[in-house]
């Protein structure tokens, strides 16, 4: 097991790049794999600010599990992998088994049904390209179970987040060029970059 042996962001990115991604992405769910460089960038920042080690974390809409697995590799006490798509949850389980990790729990359900209290939620919700306001269900679920949310959203979403997440402070931690690889039916290019913010939403 690699736990506590990862010494750099670069090393974490290399490890995460080895994870299996989506085989048959569902365009209606806007399924896409979080790029390993992006995942390592934000997770290493959280790690260096003591936001991961010893924490119970929920990875809502976990997909292939890259964010949650990264958290476990960096010392999270518990990670709940939540996704309503059983086929991609199986991929997350296989990725999890590669590292012989402990303290992961897999929940095959809609995020709205998740009700376990955690120290933090980390999520990369749909951006609402195919279903308007698709990210709201993820925010609702997160605000129900934690006081601290880390979430990717389109860069112009900050004002929306401030209004929608009433009672929470919204802070943009990073502005990123999020790479969407050609995995969905409506993708025309092999790579497409979207300006995305990584936000901390805290009560």
pLDDT over 50 (residue 99): yes
Tokens 């179970």 found at: 145
Count the residues in the chain: 203
Please, which residues bridge with residue 124 across strands? none
The 10s digit of each residue's pLDDT in 123-158 is 999 865 555 667 899 999 999 999 999 999 988 899
| Per-residue pLDDT, 188 | 60
Per-residue DSSP letter, 166: T
pLDDT over 60 (residue 17): yes
- Please enumerate in sequence order all residues whose Cβ is within 8 A of that of 118, keeping only pairs 6 or more positions apart, or say none: 55, 56, 57, 58, 78, 80, 145, 146
Per-residue DSSP letter, 172: E
pLDDT over 60 (residue 56): yes
The 10s digit of each residue's pLDDT in 146-191 is 999 999 998 889 999 999 999 999 999 999 987 765 555 555 655 7
Which of the listed CATH numbers 3.40.50.620, 3.40.50.150, 3.30.70.920, 3.40.50.720 matches domain 27-202? 3.40.50.150
| Per-residue pLDDT, 189 | 55
Would strands 78-83 and 120-123 be described as parallel, antiparallel, or unpaired?
unpaired
Are 105 and 93 spatial neighbours (Cβ–Cβ below 8 Å)? no
| Per-residue pLDDT, 34 | 81
User: Two tokens at 30?
Assistant: 């806007």
| Per-residue pLDDT, 27 | 44
CA distance 180 to 170: 25
| Per-residue pLDDT, 38 | 93
pLDDT over 90 (residue 114): yes
Mean pLDDT, residues 2-19 taken together = 87
| Per-residue pLDDT, 89 | 93
C-alpha dihedral sign at 12, 120, 200, 137: positive
Helices (H), the chain: 9-16, 36-48, 66-73, 86-98, 136-145, 158-164
């Amino acid at each position: 097991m690699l736990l506590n042996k990862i010494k750099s962001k670069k090393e974490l990115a290399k490890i995460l790049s080895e994870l299996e991604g989506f085989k048959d992405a569902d365009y209606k769910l806007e399924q896409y794999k979080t790029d390993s460089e992006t995942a390592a960038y934000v997770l290493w920042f959280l790690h260096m600010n003591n936001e991961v080690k010893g924490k119970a974390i929920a990875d809502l809409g976990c997909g292939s599990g890259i964010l949650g697995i990264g958290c476990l590799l960096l010392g999270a006490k518990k990670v709940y992998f939540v996704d309503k798509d059983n086929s991609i949850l199986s991929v997350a389980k296989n990725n999890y088994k590669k590292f012989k990790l402990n303290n992961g729990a897999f929940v095959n359900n809609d995020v709205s049904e998740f009700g376990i209290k955690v120290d933090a939620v980390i999520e990369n919700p749909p951006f609402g390209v195919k279903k308007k306001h698709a990210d709201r269900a993820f925010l609702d679920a997160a605000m129900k179970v934690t006081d601290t949310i880390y979430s990717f959203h389109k860069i112009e979403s900050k004002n929306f987040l401030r209004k929608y997440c009433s009672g929470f402070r919204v802070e943009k931690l990073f502005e990123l060029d999020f790479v969407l690889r050609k995995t969905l039916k409506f993708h025309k290019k092999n790579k497409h970059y979207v300006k995305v913010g990584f936000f901390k939403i805290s009560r």
